[in-house]
Amino acid sequence: MSRSTGTDLDPHRCVMGFARRFATYKHAALLLRDRDGLQRVLDAGAQFVFAGKAHPADDEGKAVLAEIAAFARTSAARGRFVLVPDYDISVAQAMYAGCDVWLNNPVRPHGACGTSGEKAALNGGLNCSILDGWWADWYTDGVGWAIPTSDRRERDEEGSTALHRMLADQVLPRFDDVDSWWSMTAAMIGHLGPRVTAGRMVAEYDERFYRLMRRG
Does position 93 have pLDDT exceeding 90, yes or no?
yes
* Sequence spans of domains, the chain: 2-215
pLDDT value, residue 150: 66
pLDDT tens track for 173-200: 999 999 999 999 999 999 999 888 888 8
Does residue 212 register a pLDDT over 70? yes
Nearby residues of 196 by Cβ (< 8 Å), 6 or more positions away: 118, 121, 122, 134, 138
pLDDT greater at residue 155 or residue 35: 35
Better-predicted residue by pLDDT, 106 or 73: 73
For the domain spanning 2-215, the CATH number is: 3.40.50.2000
Question: What is the pLDDT averaged over residues 8-24?
Answer: 93
More reliable by pLDDT, 105 or 63 = 63
Numbers of helices and strands, H then E, in the chain: 11, 6
- The crossing angle, in degrees rounded to 10, of helices 115-122 and 89-98 is 50
Give me the mean pLDDT over the 68-72 stretch: 96
More confident residue, 197 or 81: 81
The pLDDT, as a whole number, for residue 113 is 59
pLDDT in tens, 123-161: 999 999 988 888 988 999 999 999 887 665 556 777 888
Asked whether residue 1 carries a pLDDT value surpassing 60, the answer given is no
Which residue type occupies 169? D
Which residues are 50's β-sheet partners?
18, 83
Q: Rounded CA gap, 181 and 175, in Å? A: 5
Beta strands in the chain (DSSP E): 15-19, 47-51, 81-84, 101-104, 126-130, 144-147
pTM of the shown model: 0.89
pLDDT at 3: 62
The answer to whether 38 and 164 have CB atoms below 8 angstroms apart is yes
Q: What is the pLDDT of residue 128?
A: 96
